[in-house]
Amino acid sequence: MSAFLDFIALGWFLVCWLGYTEYSRRMAHNRPCLSNTLDMYREDWMRMMLRRDNRIPDATVVGNLERNGAFFASSCLLILAGIITALGYTEEVMNVFEPLPFGSHASREIWELRLVVLLLVFVYAFFKFTWSMRMYNFVAVLIGGAAMPDDPKTTPAAREAFAKSAATVCNLAGDAFNLGLRSYYYALAVVTWFIHPLLCIGASTLVVMVLYRREFCSDALSALRVGKTFEEPVPKGEKKPKTEAKEDRDRPGPDKNMKAH
């Protein structure tokens, strides 16, 4: 029965992790969230970068973002080294956790499964952080190769296309970093599994609730949205506001004499 409960905890953990990842990806296309709001700011950043002669501040920002990924990637390696060491001392790890209040008495195989799952979470995080670092390197190259403001050979259309391309790469780097950071949250849920499977189920659910609130309902999101102007489309069948209708009437039309000609 205990092993069955462990497999239920593992299944629920995977549902929370993979399910919320897919849910947040889909909802980012339909409603405001931190991800799509920051995407717009990054696009504005690249447009402003093309208007500046001095790109040192832009390169500095990219370097700081890259160092954040390097810090977490190196942390993942240290954690992975500790987990691999713990796999060779499973009996000692069991002796540490089993005396805890409400601790579950599981077999050695279940304990090794828990360690392997925790190992895979940090392996996933490591790959996401390193990929984020590489893409920020790409952004640095794009900034270095961007046309200067007074370059007569670069058309406005080319500048806009370049800004969108650079912003897309920057957005992908930010998304990869975000996925790696989420892995730390889910790793905490796996750690509670070492105490009891039911605690892991509750912790996995709590992690999803925290991530959802921060992504879609946080004060930071509200503050970021205040800094942007969004044009709401007028639904079909709904009349324009009176001020807009008055502006349409007051707007000068074509000259009658022009029509006669």
Chain segment 182-201, per-residue pLDDT in tens: 999 999 999 999 888 999 99
Single-letter amino acid, residue 121: V
pLDDT tens column, 148-175: 999 999 999 999 999 999 999 999 999 9
Q: Which of 34, 33, 57 is nearest to 45 (CA)?
A: 57
Rounded to whole angstroms, how far apart are CA atoms 238 and 235?
A: 6
Residues 6+ apart with CB under 8 A from 133: 66, 69, 70, 73
Domains contained in the chain, number: 1
In this structure, is residue 236 part of a structural domain?
A: no
In this structure, is residue 29 part of a structural domain?
A: yes
In this structure, is residue 258 part of a structural domain?
A: no
Structure tokens at 180: 């790696």
Q: Which of 86, 81, 79, 58 is nearest to 180 (CA)?
A: 79
CA distances from 48 to 20, 45, 171, 242 (A): 34, 5, 16, 36
In this structure, is residue 248 part of a structural domain?
A: no
Cα end-to-end span (Å), the chain: 93
- What is the average pLDDT value for the chain, to the nearest integer? 86
Structure tokens at 67: 């160092």
What local confidence, expressed as pLDDT, does residue 111 receive?
84
In this structure, is residue 260 part of a structural domain?
A: no
- 261, pLDDT greater than 70: no
In this structure, is residue 253 part of a structural domain?
A: no
DSSP 255: -
In this structure, is residue 255 part of a structural domain?
A: no
In this structure, is residue 24 part of a structural domain?
A: yes
What local confidence, expressed as pLDDT, does residue 227 receive?
79
Its domain, for residue 96, covers 2-231
Buried b or exposed e, range 167-196, using 16+ CB within 10 angstroms: bebbbbbbbbbbbbbbbbbbbebbbbbbbb
Rounded to whole angstroms, how far apart are CA atoms 121 and 182?
A: 10
pTM of the model: 0.82
